[in-house]
Structure 1
Amino acid sequence: MRRLVQLVGLFLVLQGVSGAIDHLAHQPFFGVVLNLFNRFVVPSVDALAGYELYANLSLAVLGAAVVVAAERVVPA
């Protein structure tokens, strides 16, 4: 279960970094998968208008925090 949570956290990091790259330049690799947050969530939330780069970088930091938290959990 811990590996699954780490995988989700890694996917969040990749989505955040990919969205930031896509916002600054064109993202040529796996744009369909890695920019889901950038294409569906960011336009739907009005509070994120104009803060797309910060939203993507925050998603990457959140994903890194999930990876670190999953690593530190002691299995029972």
Structure 2
Amino acid sequence: MRKPVETVGGLLVLMGISGTIDHLAYQPILGPFLNAFNRYVFPHIELLRGYEVFANLLVGVVGVVVIAGARRLR
């Protein structure tokens, strides 16, 4: 059970970093997949308008927390 949770955490870290890069400059590598939050979710949430970079970084931080939590599982 630990490896799938770590994989999800790693994916969230990649999505957070990639979304930040995509918001600041165009990032073409796996853009529709890795930048899904940045392109499809965040524009539809009024609360996050203007704070997309912070939201993407928060996704990355959540990924790190998920990885750390998964490593504590037995």
Provide the secondary structure at the position in 2 that maps to 1:16: helix
Cα distance in structure 1, aligned partners of 2:44 and 2:2: 31
- Which structure 1 segments of 5+ residues have no match? none
Q: Which runs of 4+ in 1 moved over 3 A?
A: none
Match of 1:73 in 2: 73
Return the alpha-carbon distance in structure 1 between the equivalents of residues 45 and 5 of structure 2.
Answer: 25
Whole-Å separation in 2 of the counterparts to 1:45 and 1:72: 33
Structure 1 counterpart of 2:56: 56
**Structure 1 residue identity aligned to 2:71:** E
- Percent identity between matched residues is 51
Q: 1:1-76 alignment to 2 at 5 Å?
A: 1-74=1-74
Shift of 1:23: 0.8
CA distance in 1 between partners of 2:3 and 2:19 (Å): 24
Q: Distance in 2 between matches of 1:44 and 1:13?
A: 21
